[in-house]
Chains A and B, each alone.
Chain A
């Protein structure tokens, strides 16, 4: 309940207060070096997204060269399914839109789209659109607004938005809008900051932010900030570093970034670093991972941290990469 949320995270004096960039660089560099590390080995099925998280985080810190480019590009190549054109989380696993988008993001950062069969990817994304405009994650049929976002993210990076029915896709996302102005995973599903990011990002790419009830949604989003400074993903839930990104990037696209208290959020994000191992965790004192490391850094970048490259709020990729591709996702003033 609200009153108990005041103590939602431990206010510990031992938590870090400065940004530990060097620690994070070595954390991410070493993360994939030991194949037999348990956490690394057991999460092989989401490796492609893991590569995107680690690579983007390093690029934001200006350390793209810390990871072996050729090895990574080769890995992406091997993960493309020649039949469907989709890309999997790792070798021997099945293709999925979640990993297809990560792979395309990675190749765009490296400017190496030539390494894969791009037409195959386009064919794959196109094959996953349903008559009502929605997208399934793979051929097995699960529908979710996350997949709508993945689809347009992928196709816009490949400059092939014409491959799908964009109007229908927008119609579906619009049908997922709720009483509070937010969005859920399907029509009538509860609003959730992660899915709001997906839907706002989707509308930013399709240049249709006009359909959003801007201030209703922005108010709901700014109410995610808790006394600890951290952001949660739904009312009466705990804060988590990844929501720093989902909420902040959505507010940024809506032109309402200033509705969040930066100093308080920065303090929370910085306190989620592990000063021994490097990396960020969801909350202070938990185990760190590349996922939270990217979203912690990306949120700091969005708040203007000078030690980091600028991040694009729609794509969660360095702004310079988006500029080079001449992409102009819609952002409200």
Chain B
């Protein structure tokens, strides 16, 4: 149970709510029994199948109900031939519509996402391109839903990935909202860090951290970029210089200190030890929740 605020109610409200809940519970139990008692019928029991839809819309996490639907679908596929392919297609499409209803009510339901893919994968004429467009549209509404990102990858396995287009998509998502860890992550899966791509990535991440230095997402990406063997001393010096000017504008931002500690490795001379020490001592002051981590960093440079 996540994010459900406990609300104070009057005795009367409580009674009304309890009555409604008891009705729902009764309907769930009766519906489930009905499905159970007709589960193996051939052809399938249409009343049970319709009840099953209603129960899933109310709660898409009941995996046994999705399993029942898959059994029915397999039955339908088995009994159909070329002559009624269109009918089968319609049946499968209505199934996809059901998952849509379930996902609108609960966008994080594993069962609904999986069922949707499972059905499309068996559809006589699957519209993967349409599905892909829908997926992009959905990610524009909620770009942190990792189920939808995972789903996008499944579709791309079907239609073939266009790396440039996907990279462009990630750039768009990031430019709309820098604070979007999911898009940064997605980008990391599309990129081979090398000499050609490095400048573009550094540029993008610098734009992001200058726009909102307090947002963590781009800093994680920066750390990854800096792990590339193609990062030169010049890259590091340039960035260090930029971060120092950013620090003048935002002197209490912990991320700038952390990033500087990554960059000074192998850039500065004998002073770097002292500078790193100062850096971690400052971090202990401004970010005390992580002092255990910074203390370890301090011990490592000694």
Q: Is B128 part of the contact surface with A, judged by Cβ < 8 Å? A: no
A286 touches B6 (CB 8 A): yes
B99-107, B182-190, B239-247 - interface stretch? B182-190
Q: Is A206 part of the contact surface with B, judged by Cβ < 8 Å? A: no
CB contact between A180 and one of B59, B150, B220 (< 8 Å): that residue: B220
Q: Is B149 part of the contact surface with A, judged by Cβ < 8 Å? A: yes
A235/B217 contact (C-beta < 8 A), A38-B22, A45-B62, A189-B146 known: yes
Q: How far is the CB of A307 from chain B (nearest CB, A)?
A: 24
A140/B25 contact (C-beta < 8 A), A93-B64, A234-B181 known: no
- Residues in B with CB closer than 8 Å to A238 are 3
Q: Is the interface on chain B under 10, 10 to 19, 20 to 34, or 35 or more residues?
A: 35 or more
Instruction: Give bound CA distance, A260 to B220, whole Å.
Output: 18
B46-54, B79-87, B133-141, B283-291 - interface stretch? B283-291
CB contact between A189 and one of B18, B61, B149, B216 (< 8 Å): that residue: B149
B181 touches A235 (CB 8 A): yes
B289 touches A264 (CB 8 A): yes
Q: Is B168 part of the contact surface with A, judged by Cβ < 8 Å? A: no
Instruction: Give bound CA distance, A2 to B224, whole Å.
Output: 20
- Residues in A with CB closer than 8 Å to B70 are 140
With contacts defined as CB atoms under 8 Å apart, how many contacts are there between chain A and chain B in the complex? 155
Within 8 A of A (CB), among B187-241: 188-189, 212, 214-217, 220-221, 223-224
Residue of A nearest to B36 (CB): A92
CB contact between A285 and one of B6, B64, B212, B224 (< 8 Å): that residue: B6
A236/B292 contact (C-beta < 8 A), A2-B179, A287-B1 known: no
B1 touches A236 (CB 8 A): no
Residue of B nearest to A219 (CB): B293
Within 8 A of B (CB), among A119-142: 138, 140-142
CB contact between B215 and one of A1, A180, A216, A256 (< 8 Å): that residue: A1
A178 touches B289 (CB 8 A): no
Residue of A nearest to B183 (CB): A190
B67 touches A38 (CB 8 A): no
Q: Is B114 part of the contact surface with A, judged by Cβ < 8 Å? A: yes
A190 touches B64 (CB 8 A): no
B289 touches A190 (CB 8 A): no
B215 touches A282 (CB 8 A): no
B4 touches A190 (CB 8 A): no
A236/B64 contact (C-beta < 8 A), A1-B212, A258-B292, A291-B1 known: no
Q: Please report the total number of A residues contacting B with Cβ < 8 Å.
A: 63
Q: How far is the CB of A27 from chain B (nearest CB, A)?
A: 13
A286 touches B1 (CB 8 A): yes
- Residues in B with CB closer than 8 Å to A88 are 64
Q: Is A22 part of the contact surface with B, judged by Cβ < 8 Å? A: no
A2 touches B3 (CB 8 A): no
Q: Determine chain B's interface SS by DSSP, over half rule.
A: helix
Q: How far is the CB of A288 from chain B (nearest CB, A)?
A: 8
A261 touches B185 (CB 8 A): no
Q: Is A75 part of the contact surface with B, judged by Cβ < 8 Å? A: no
A36 touches B215 (CB 8 A): no
Within 8 A of B (CB), among A24-47: 36, 38-39, 41-42, 45-46
Residue of A nearest to B59 (CB): A42
A96 touches B292 (CB 8 A): no
B289 touches A225 (CB 8 A): yes
A261 touches B290 (CB 8 A): yes
Q: How far is the CB of A165 from chain B (nearest CB, A)?
A: 24
Instruction: Give bound CA distance, A227 to B214, whole Å.
Output: 13
Interface centre among A180, A225, A240, A258 (most CB of B within 10 A): A180
A38 touches B18 (CB 8 A): yes
CB contact between A223 and one of B21, B189, B216 (< 8 Å): that residue: B216
- Residues in A with CB closer than 8 Å to B118 are 140-141
Q: How far is the CB of B125 from chain A (nearest CB, A)?
A: 22
Q: How far is the CB of A163 from chain B (nearest CB, A)?
A: 24
- Residues in A with CB closer than 8 Å to B173 are none
- Residues in B with CB closer than 8 Å to A312 are none
Q: How far is the CB of A196 from chain B (nearest CB, A)?
A: 13
Q: Is B94 part of the contact surface with A, judged by Cβ < 8 Å? A: no
Q: Is B28 part of the contact surface with A, judged by Cβ < 8 Å? A: yes
Instruction: Give bound CA distance, A52 to B3, whole Å.
Output: 22
- Residues in A with CB closer than 8 Å to B224 are 179-180
A2 touches B216 (CB 8 A): yes
Provide a sorted-by-A list of 23 A–B residue pairs whose CB atoms are within 8 angstroms: A1-B215, A3-B212, A38-B21, A38-B25, A42-B28, A45-B62, A92-B32, A94-B67, A138-B67, A185-B150, A189-B146, A190-B182, A216-B223, A218-B293, A234-B144, A236-B144, A236-B179, A238-B3, A240-B2, A260-B289, A261-B292, A281-B1, A286-B2
8 closest Cβ pairs, A-B complex: A179-B188, A38-B21, A258-B292, A2-B214, A235-B181, A2-B215, A259-B293, A179-B224
